[in-house]
Amino acid sequence: MKRKIIAGLLSAVCIVSLIGCGNTSSPMGTEENADNSTSEDTATDETTATESAEVSDGGTTIQFWNSFTGTDGDVLREIVDTYNKTNTKGNTIEMDIMPTDSLEEKLPAAIASKTAPALVIKGNFDTATYGENGIFQSIDDFFETTGTDKTDFSDASLEALQYEGKQLMIPMQVHSTFLFWNKDLFEAAGLDPETPPATWDEVVADAAKITDSSKKIYGVGFPVSGAPCYFDAMFKSNGGDVVTENGTASALDSEANLKTLQYIQELVSAGYAPKGATGADTDNLMLADQLGIYCSGPWLVNGLKENEINFGVAAMPAGTSEAAGVIEVQGFGVTSTCSDAEKAAAYDFIAYWNTTEVCKEWSLRNGFPPYLKSVAADTEVQADPIVSALSSISEFGFTFAPGVSAANQINADVLFPLIENISAGNDCQTELTKASESIDELLSK
Amino acid sequence: MIKENKKSEIAFKIIKYVVMIALFIIVLFPLLWLLINSFKTEKEIIGFPPTIIGTKYTLKSFVRIFSNIPFAAYIKNTVIFAGGTTVIAVIFDSMAGYAFARLKFKGKNALFMFVLLTMMVPFQVMMIPLFLESNYLGLLNTYPGLILPKATTAFGIFMMRSYFSALPKDLEEAARVDGLNEMGIFWKIMFPLVKPGVMTLAIFHLMTNWNDLLYPLMMTSSTRMRTLAAGLALFVGEHATTYYGPQLAGALISVTPLLVLYIFFQKYFIASVATSGIKD
Amino acid sequence: MKKLESIKRYLNKPSRIAYVFLAPSLIVLLVFAIIPLIASLIISVMNMNIFFTDTSFAGISNFIQAFQDGRFWNALLNTVVFVVFEVPLQIVIGLLVANALTKTTVFNKVARSIFFLPVICSMAAIGIVWSILLDGNIGLVPYLLEKIGIPNATFFRDVKTAMPTVIAMTVWKNFGYTMSILVVGIQGISTSYYEAAQIDGANKIEQFFNITLPQLKDTLGFCLITNTIGSLQVFDQVYVTTQGGPQYKTETLVQYIYKTGFSQPYNLGYASALSVLLLVVILLISFSMYRNMFMKTD
């Protein structure tokens, strides 16, 4: 009797695993296609759905992940929709926007289970990690395959996205942090609405006047997480740095950086900056007419326009040293587990994006500085006050920790917590030493 | 003496109603606030000073949640996952509960201990191997992969066991005399008799799986396979979307189906919780 | 066909059909609970990441790492703090409300239905609502608090108030759950006890302490154990509101396990070791609680 039960159990397990294995051996990307073919049908008829998705009218459906959770995501969505309607190959891009953290959390699991999207947008900080782990494939053949003019790209934008000499991603946008200011709040505080602060000292003076705690109006914002790394630029503009030039050791624990941290701490403790606010919190303050000065990225532009905020954009303020801004390049990466058909569709969309027309639309509507020479030369782009302000990037931009594979982790796991801790009132020097040690530890790995 | 008691009883009554009405406000207000703010414009949601009743109402947040994330797919997935799991788990739990309650067989105690053991192990402890196993079996991002691991629970087996145990003795003997086979006895005689138990258990499974976060979060890497709770949680989080309106609209849509069911099946909702405390 | 019939006939005996009834559940539990549990123990002594690069035997090094890991102790402490405050609060509030609403009147019935509403809603939805309501800058609650003289309340964003806020939100959502269990428990107490007490002149408070509480002991013990085990696994409320911040002050064990395994550094081996430690903590606490309860009832 007992033996029979065990045999029964075993055979049942076998059946379960056989059903399972059947699925495993199905071609890569089956799931995505099955799910995407039509949004209404269920994934139960996977195989048929796959075939129809691959063959019907020659088009391919691919998944496209990115973190454009800001107001610029709406513009991106429109561009993707236009591509889906107009592309001659019948391709469909299914875009999924999720917070950076979620993307970082989900992508490796998706790669491991071979259900990853074909197309992903990541930044130049991620090239080392994504190249090393084999999440992205090298796309050196992109220009040849699609006939896209390589010489139209600025060299810096291409180089930032290379890994071990190979093109890992194709540029999608270039940006830095800029100083946004709310003209109405400046005026209400008796300041000249057309003169943004040019130095960090002026930021304090203006912030003090703008702040009105009874109305929850803050002078300036220093988010403690989920924001661009404005602090790297602050360190630099005050003569400090995060890692040594050769990228092997921490340069964080310096007098200059201590002053920068104390500066932030004083602004927070004086109530001129919201305490412990995240990037999204601070963005919302800016969008709600509650924040005077904010160093953030161009993705704010679309939202500020939509919420009818009377704002201006300028270069980052200068400190004891020259003004600085971290240049970040976002690029399209193609995942290593996608099929040839998916890769072709991904290439087609990347090529579509990098036409003068589409890049120009992106620049004009969101204020992103152009990286295609043909867009930069466009008269309409040059005439746009926001884009031209943002294009000053070429004068003060620098690349953060070039070639350091832990660059992203340094910002996310060390520097943001550092800002959070000192904003909460912890001792700046203690935190600085601690953070510096953590950076050394990351660099030694 | 008795008069004093009367007095203090009146005092208690007053305190009770005051406290209860305060609690009403604390419990109901956030839910009503959710309802109102889902229809407010973004500008009014984040505007300062905050308002309770807005001035302009719009469906824009709802439009946004459907266009920003594959929200329609989340709804479909949640219905299939929670619904499918509920149907299957109720059947499996009832069958096992029936066997433990009414049938004599070898190894009953050992098998019962086995079920007991699985009840002691929290899901979090086995979530990583479960993820790897599902990946290996090719079940990740599929409906069977979501449903199968949840297709039975030790709790459900216990619950159905106690419902079946409470039925009068010799029921099945009479049926056997009438010539009904064992399957027939279960399906035609016993199962219909524990209908309240089945309803209660169904609500229990539906509620747990509909609202479950960690499990679907882990078992779905493809965005199109996510459930409402997991999809919403990934849509917000700390490093979140700038817009609050769509988050609220999504939250409202995700809680509505269960709230509607609650209106009709309130008894079973409360029983699904309460029986767990009593029957043991 | 004939064979199937004979199998059917063979199985048509209570002692045999039982296995057929049990098979689906037992297979599911075996494949999706027991095997993963054993695998968890194995993976916990391995070096393994989500990409399966460099998988190797690690011995107990993952556990040694855990004991030296400040974030693990921090997460354990946070989890314990959560349990120590959330569980008693939920039970006490649930008990007081249940005691007030036991009688079957229209008002009580409506009240019980309303208090159960948050139990039905997902933590994801509840977290969204409270995050915005309690937002330090644009939230309604800090605004109202400021009006009555308590300025600058930032709830989830402040080191000191983040954990209490998570606890309060959980109690808000779950007290209706405990209340429902206890209402049934109190209704099950024979009315003759109260009648006798009334004749003796005992007032409501005395009745509560002398009759209700002792009679409810088993139900309360059940609530205590299940709530404690559930609270040790706290994850959802943190994931949707604070993500463990600020300064890791709300990072719980499960949150840390999830982060270790499923985001940077994708270390499945270490995450499994942490989950085995969680299992040990849960087993220790629940066994000692069971034992204490048995000793009291004896």
**How many C-beta atoms lie closer than 10 Å to residue C298's C-beta?**
5
> What ipTM is given for this predicted complex?
0.89
Q: Give A20-68 pLDDT, tens digit per residue.
A: 333 333 333 333 333 333 333 333 333 333 333 444 457 899 999 998 8
**How many C-beta atoms lie closer than 10 Å to residue A158's C-beta?**
18
Q: Is A33 a domain residue?
A: no
Least-confidence region, from A259-263, A271-275, B179-183, C256-260: B179-183
Q: Is A334 a domain residue?
A: yes
Q: What range does the domain containing A297 cover?
A: 178-326+406-444
For chain B, give percent helix, strand, coil, nearest 5: 75, 0, 20
Q: Are residues C139 and C258 in the same domain?
A: yes
Residue B225 in contact with residue B77, Cβ under 8 Å?
Answer: yes
Q: Is C104 a domain residue?
A: yes
Q: Are residues B223 and B110 in the same domain?
A: yes
Q: Is the pLDDT of residue B97 over 80?
A: yes
Q: What range does the domain containing B94 cover?
A: 61-278
Q: Is C54 a domain residue?
A: no
CB-side neighbour CA atoms (13 Å) of A125: 17
Min CA distance, A27 vs chain B (Å)?
Answer: 12
Of B189, B160, B155, the C-alpha closest to B99 is B160
Give the one of B42, B138, B235 whose C-beta lies nearest to A20's C-beta: B138
Q: Is A362 a domain residue?
A: yes
Report the CATH number that the domain containing residue A320 is assigned in CATH.
3.40.190.10
Report the CATH number that the domain containing residue C289 is assigned in CATH.
1.10.3720.10
Give the one of B50, B111, B274 whose C-beta lies nearest to C181's C-beta: B274
Q: Are residues A322 and A333 in the same domain?
A: no
With b for 16 or more beta-carbon neighbours within 10 A and e for fewer, the C191-212 pattern comes to eeeeeebeeeebebeebeeebb
φ, ψ of residue A163 in degrees (nearest 5): -130, 125
Q: Is the pLDDT of residue A103 over 90?
A: no
Q: Are residues A266 and A141 in the same domain?
A: no
Task: Give the pLDDT of residue A400.
Answer: 84
Of B67, B34, B58, B53, the C-alpha closest to C122 is B34
Q: What range does the domain containing C37 cover?
A: 2-43
| Per-range mean pLDDT, top range of A318-332, B129-143, B161-175, C86-100 | C86-100
Task: Give the pLDDT of residue A15.
Answer: 38
| pLDDT tier for residue B79 given thresholds of 50, 70 and 90 | very high
Q: Is C221 a domain residue?
A: yes
Q: Is the Cβ of C166 closer than 8 Å to some Cβ of chain B?
A: no
Give the one of C19, C26, C157 whose C-beta lies nearest to A277's C-beta: C157
Q: Give A340-390 pLDDT, tens digit per residue.
A: 999 999 999 999 999 999 999 998 888 788 889 899 888 888 888 778 777
Write a three-state SS string for C197-253: HHHCCCCHHHHHHHHHHHHCHHHHHHHHHHHHHHHHCCCHHHHHHCCCCCCCCCCCH
Q: Are residues A263 and A314 in the same domain?
A: yes
Q: Are residues A298 and A432 in the same domain?
A: yes
Task: Give the pLDDT of residue B101.
Answer: 92
Q: Give C171-213 pLDDT, tens digit per residue.
A: 999 999 999 999 988 998 888 988 888 888 888 888 889 899 9
Q: Of residues C195 and A397, which shows the higher confidence score? A: C195
Give the one of A105, A274, A424 whose C-beta lies nearest to C246's C-beta: A424
Q: Are residues B31 and B140 in the same domain?
A: no
Contact B27 C201 (CB under 8 A): no
Q: Tell me the C-alpha distance between A311 and A325, whole Å.
A: 20
Q: Is the Cβ of B3 closer than 8 Å to some Cβ of chain C?
A: no
Task: Give the pLDDT of residue B180.
Answer: 85
Report the CATH number that the domain containing residue B111 is assigned in CATH.
1.10.3720.10
Report the pLDDT averaged over residues C236-254. 89
Q: Are residues B71 and B33 in the same domain?
A: no
Report the pLDDT averaged over residues A264-270. 95
Q: Is B269 a domain residue?
A: yes
Q: Give A166-202 pLDDT, tens digit per residue.
A: 999 999 998 888 899 999 999 999 999 999 999 999 9
Task: Give the pLDDT of residue B255.
Answer: 95
Task: Give the pLDDT of residue C295.
Answer: 60
Question: How many domains in chain B?
Answer: 2
Contact A276 C158 (CB under 8 A): yes
Q: Are residues C13 and C139 in the same domain?
A: no
Q: Are residues C276 and C154 in the same domain?
A: yes
Q: Is B240 a domain residue?
A: yes
Q: Is the pLDDT of residue B93 over 80?
A: yes
Q: pLDDT averaged over chain C? A: 89
Q: Are residues C35 and C75 in the same domain?
A: no
Q: Are residues C89 and C37 in the same domain?
A: no
Q: Give B10-60 pLDDT, tens digit per residue.
A: 888 898 899 999 999 999 999 999 999 999 988 888 887 888 888 889 998
| pLDDT tier for residue A430 given thresholds of 50, 70 and 90 | very high
Contact A96 B142 (CB under 8 A): no
Q: Tell me the C-alpha distance between C116 and B274, whole Å.
A: 12
| pLDDT tier for residue C294 given thresholds of 50, 70 and 90 | low
| pLDDT tier for residue B4 given thresholds of 50, 70 and 90 | low
Task: Give the pLDDT of residue A32.
Answer: 35
Report the pLDDT averaged over residues A223-238. 90
Q: Of residues A394 and A389, which shows the higher confidence score? A: A389
Return the percentage of chain A with pLDDT > 70, whole number. 86
Residue A428 in contact with residue A273, Cβ under 8 Å?
Answer: no
Helix (H) / strand (E) element for A443: namely: helix A428-444
Contact A43 B142 (CB under 8 A): yes
Q: pLDDT averaged over chain A? A: 82
Question: How many domains in chain C?
Answer: 2
Residue C236 in contact with residue B213, Cβ under 8 Å?
Answer: yes
